[in-house]
C-alpha cells in the first residue's frame, strides 16, 4: 500500500492525472467504484485495503482494471503488483495450473489490445516462477521490476515511474527526454570484448566556450522534473569571474532560483559494452548553510526507455564540506553501467538560497571504462 501511494504521488506531482485501484487475492475488487479518481481519493481508498491471503486471480484483476480505464483520453497503464502467478480464474481446481495462466494471458492480451500498457511489479519470494508475468503479461519483458520482499518495494518506485513515463510517451518536460535513436558515428565502437581496465575520454570541459558538452546547462529543476531552457531565468550561466575554481576565470555557476533547482546536464553518451563512467570536476561552493546541498545525478536508457533521473551523490554542507564559507574541492565519482544500459548522461544540480549560495563548476571530465 505504501508503494502504491508513493507511485501515485510521484506520477501525479500536482498534475490532474486520474487513478483507479483494484485489489485481488482469491477474488478481485474495484476499490474505486466510480472508476477513475483523483490522486488523493485513490490514496484514501488504498488505506482501506488489508491483506486477505488466498489464491491469486490475476486475470480478473486485469479485466477489472481494464474496465476502470475504459474511455480514458490519456495513456492508460496498469501497474500490476503481485507476489505470485495466477492460481484462480480459469475454471477447475485452484492452484498453479496452466488453465489459470492461459486465462490471465487472455485478459492481459485484451487489455493490451485496448491500448493499455501493463507493467508487472513482482515480489519474488521464491515460491513462484515469475517468468510467466514477464513473457505473457507484461507489455514488454523489459518493462518489469522484481524485488525479493515487500519491504523492498519502496526502493523501486522511481524505476516504476520512469517506466510509466516512457510507456505513456510523456512530455519531455516531465523528466523523460527523447531517446537517442542510433549509435554515434564517431567515438568508440561497441566494445563487445571488453578490454581490461581501460578508459576512454568522452569529454573535458573547461567551459571556455560556455556550455561545451552540456545541453544549455541552464535547465531548471522543479516539481521533481527537469524543464528545458530558460538558463537566464534560473540563473545558471557561463561566467567570467574570479570565483571560478579553475585558472581561466570562466566556469559554470549554479544556484537555486525561486524554489527551482539550477542544474547542468551533459549530452547523451553512448556506453554500450562499457562497465562504468568516471565523472570528475573542480568545484567552489559558497555560503551554503548547514543541511543545504548539491547533487550529482544520472539518467540511463535501456530497452528503449529512460528510467528517470537518479541521485548518485549528495554533497551536504556541514557534512561533506564546510558550511557558511567558500570551499574549493575536486570530486570524482564512478557510475556503474547496469546490464543492458546503452546510453547515459550526467547532471549537477544545486539547491540552496537563491540570493547567497553559489556553486561553481570547472574542468569537468567524463570517461567510459571497461574492466
Among residues 168, 189, 213, the one where a domain terminates is 168
271, part of any domain = yes
Block residue for cell numbers 486485469: 62
pLDDT at 180 over 60: no
275 and 221 fall within a common domain? yes
Count up the domains in the chain and report the number.
2
Q: How far is CA 29 from CA 66, 78, 88, 286, in A?
A: 13, 15, 14, 55
pLDDT at 127 over 70: no
* Secondary structure (DSSP) of 119-187: EEEEE--SSS-THHIIIIISSSTTS-EEESSGGGGGGGHHHHHHHHHHHTT--GGGT--PPP-S--SSS
Q: Are 269 and 186 in contact (CB under 8 A)?
A: no
Please give the average per-residue pLDDT across 15-32, as a whole number: 90
Helix spans in 21-88 (H)? 39-46, 58-69
Among residues 129, 152, 168, the one where a domain terminates is 168
351, part of any domain = yes
288 and 215 fall within a common domain? yes
153 and 220 fall within a common domain? no
187, part of any domain = no
**So what's the pLDDT on residue 262?**
65
177, part of any domain = no
Please give the average per-residue pLDDT across 269-293, as a whole number: 87
Block residue for cell numbers 570524482: 332
Other beta carbons less than 10 A from residue 207's beta carbon: 25
Q: Are 256 and 350 in contact (CB under 8 A)?
A: yes
pTM of the model: 0.51
Min mean pLDDT across 61-65, 216-220, 251-255 is at: 216-220
**So what's the pLDDT on residue 355?**
54
Greatest CA separation for the chain: 78
66 and 15 fall within a common domain? yes
pLDDT in tens, 333-349: 999 887 777 778 788 87
125 and 243 fall within a common domain? no
161 and 202 fall within a common domain? no
**So what's the pLDDT on residue 211?**
66
364 and 277 fall within a common domain? yes
174, part of any domain = no
159 vs 216 pLDDT, higher one: 159
189, part of any domain = no
204 and 285 fall within a common domain? yes
279 and 240 fall within a common domain? yes
Taking the alpha carbons at both ends of the chain, their separation in whole angstroms is 41
Bridge-based pairing state of the strands 117-123 and 77-82: parallel
- For the chain, helix, strand, coil in percent to 5 are 20, 35, 45
134 and 214 fall within a common domain? no
309's grid cell: 533521473
186, part of any domain = no
63, part of any domain = yes
CATH code at 203?
2.60.120.200
**So what's the pLDDT on residue 309?**
67
pLDDT at 326 over 80: no
Please give the average per-residue pLDDT across 93-114, as a whole number: 91
In 3D space, the residue among 90, 87, 29, 19 whose CA is nearest the CA of residue 55 turns out to be 87
Cα dihedral sign, 361-363-367-371: negative
110 and 202 fall within a common domain? no
139 and 18 fall within a common domain? yes
pLDDT at 259 over 50: no
Domain around 277: 198-370
Min mean pLDDT across 178-182, 238-242, 293-297 is at: 178-182
CA 142 to chain centre: 14
Amino acid at each position: 500500500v505504501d508503494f502504491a501511494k508513493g507511485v501515485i504521488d510521484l506520477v501525479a506531482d500536482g498534475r490532474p492525472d486520474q487513478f483507479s485501484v483494484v485489489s485481488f487475492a482469491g477474488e478481485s475488487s474495484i476499490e474505486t467504484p466510480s472508476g477513475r479518481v483523483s490522486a488523493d481519493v485513490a490514496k484514501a481508498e488504498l488505506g482501506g485495503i488489508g491483506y486477505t491471503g488466498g489464491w491469486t486471480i490475476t486475470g480478473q484483476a486485469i479485466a477489472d482494471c481494464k474496465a476502470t480505464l475504459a474511455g480514458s483520453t490519456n495513456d492508460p497503464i496498469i501497474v500490476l503488483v503481485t507476489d505470485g502467478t495466477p492460481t484462480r480464474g480459469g475454471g477447475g481446481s485452484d492452484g498453479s495450473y496452466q488453465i489459470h495462466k492461459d486465462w490471465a494471458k487472455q485478459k492481459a492480451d485484451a487489455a493490451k489490445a485496448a491500448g493499455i500498457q501493463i507493467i508487472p511489479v513482482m515480489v519474488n519470494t521464491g515460491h513462484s516462477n515469475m517468468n510467466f508475468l514477464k513473457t505473457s503479461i507484461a507489455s514488454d519483458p523489459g518493462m518489469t521490476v522484481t524485488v525479493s520482499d515487500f519491504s523492498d518495494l519502496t526502493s523501486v518506485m522511481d524505476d516504476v515511474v520512469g517506466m510509466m513515463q516512457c510507456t505513456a510517451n510523456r512530455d519531455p518536460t516531465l523528466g523523460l527526454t527523447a531517446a537517442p535513436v542510433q549509435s554515434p558515428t564517431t567515438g568508440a565502437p561497441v566494445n563487445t570484448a571488453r578490454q581490461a581496465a581501460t578508459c576512454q575520454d568522452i569529454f573535458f570541459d573547461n567551459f571556455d566556450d560556455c556550455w561545451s558538452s552540456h545541453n544549455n546547462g541552464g535547465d531548471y529543476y522543479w516539481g521533481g522534473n527537469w524543464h528545458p531552457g530558460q538558463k537566464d531565468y534560473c540563473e545558471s550561466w557561463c561566467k567570467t569571474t574570479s570565483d571560478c575554481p579553475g585558472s581561466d576565470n570562466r566556469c559554470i555557476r549554479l544556484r537555486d532560483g525561486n524554489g527551482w533547482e539550477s542544474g547542468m546536464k551533459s549530452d547523451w553518451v553512448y556506453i554500450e559494452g562499457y562497465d562504468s563512467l568516471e565523472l570528475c570536476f573542480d568545484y567552489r561552493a559558497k555560503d551554503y548553510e548547514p543541511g543545504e546541498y548539491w547533487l550529482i545525478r544520472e539518467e540511463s536508457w535501456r530497452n528503449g526507455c529512460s528510467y528517470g533521473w537518479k541521485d548518485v551523490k549528495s554533497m551536504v554542507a556541514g557534512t561533506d564540506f564546510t558550511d557558511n564559507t567558500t570551499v574549493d574541492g575536486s570530486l570524482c565519482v564512478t557510475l556503474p553501467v547496469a546490464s543492458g544500459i546503452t546510453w547515459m548522461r550526467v547532471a549537477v544540480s544545486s539547491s540552496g538560497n537563491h540570493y547567497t549560495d553559489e556553486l561553481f563548476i570547472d574542468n569537468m571530465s567524463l570517461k567510459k571504462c571497461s574492466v
